[in-house]
Structure 1
């Protein structure tokens, strides 16, 4: 059960590990191509994802001279688009289910701050109907959102 070792002396070319006359210099350059590839992929991912991060239903808010409200917490947003559809945050819901869904997601009960966003073309009666429905349910902190008026 013995092992035999060849007479070559160690495996590399039969002459040992030393190489005479060849000096390999270390490559001191940094290959930045993989880093650039990763950065470009991340840039593309963020460019695609950024529009998805905007909150809310796209509507054309009216402009007013009202000052911005001081907001410590994120309010619940109810949106009425130009066609009269109602959205709770970003989810479209029927008007009959609005109060039940509000009660389900309200953290502070009837003291929850609610913002109503209405498109510029929204029927005034539809917006007031939604606001009255919410107020009849017991919510008192209701605000209407608008854009600041641009001086021309």
Structure 2
């Protein structure tokens, strides 16, 4: 009888006294709770951040800055006529018109020029106009084409 009690107590001790395995799973429930509370706080405070403050600005006689950053539209029709911003130019007027445009105050990044040339034009005619643009100092030139959707 005494032996039975020793064996049973040894078996219990063996189970209790052994090394415990570390938990390999992380409990994410508190993390999710905290994140949901933060989400609710941000949802409540976000509309309050948009509210502005009424400010009575002083008046000034200074002229407003020119914000006209519209690009120059240079078009070459199939018959060879050249237009700048829908204004047709005569023969030989292109260098003077480009010099006038280049002399105007430009944004810091430079004046943009959009060149629209008819597809039937000779490559040399387009290159002559590009040369005139380069000579006038207008180096930011973009060639306009029709996209796949027809625009």
The TM-score by the shorter chain falls in which range?
Answer: 0.3 to 0.5
Q: Which has the larger radius of gyration?
A: 2
Name the structure where helix makes up a greater proportion of residues.
2
Normalised to the residue count of structure 1, the TM-score between the two structures is 0.46
